[in-house]
Copies of this chain bind each other. A is one copy, B any other.
Amino acid sequence: MIVPLLAPLEAVLFAAGSEGLSTQAISEVLEVSVDTVFELLTRLKSEYELREAGLEVVELAGAWQIVTRADCAPYLERMATAPSAPGLSQAALEVLAIVAYRQPITRGQVESIRGVQSDRVLQTLLHRQLVCEVGRQDSPGRPILYGTTPYFLQTFGLSSLEHLPPLPVLDETSEDISLFDLTPALPRD
């Protein structure tokens, strides 16, 4: 019964482009229940996989969108005219990681984990809209609390904060496992 809606789903996802559509929005446009939307999305996803398309259906920051498949990147690089945004420095990635896992967090707390001043790096992350102010801490001086943005989720291919890879356990007692050997096995989606 839902099959006739696969084509419209594809069309509206295509139209939404990089903006994507939330499950809720899709259900309103297609006039079907959210459950049906999930069913449709699952179908469309697997159809794309089956026919080994150059595109795939993904959920980024809570919005569904159609994107190109990673293995087509070499071709796309050839036609890309806009230089991609410069990557983040090691320091920026560190601060971002702390904010991502510990949000909401103050600059002072970030600095105490890193052991160095981090205001400049934080400023860069604010400018690149990976991080934003989310409030004030109820403590002397009412320092600003920082959190990550939806753009952060998009940039790192996450559908939500719950999909951040779990941190390795801080186990002080076990001496046999050297934490240095904790090579980050890439989590798969």
Contact = CB atoms under 8 A, between A and B. Distances in A.
Interface of A: 6-12, 14-19, 21, 25, 28-30, 47, 51-55, 66, 68-69, 71-72, 75-76, 78-79, 81-82, 85, 108, 114-117, 119-120, 123-124, 127-129, 141, 151
Contact of A15 (B51, B68, B114, B128): B68
A114 B9 CA distance: 32
**Chain copies in the assembled complex:** 2
Given A16-B79, A29-B78, A75-B30, A11 B120 contact: no
Given A72-B12, A108-B82, A115 B127 contact: yes
A72 B18 contact: no
Contacts of A72: 7-8, 11-12
Nearest to A127: B115
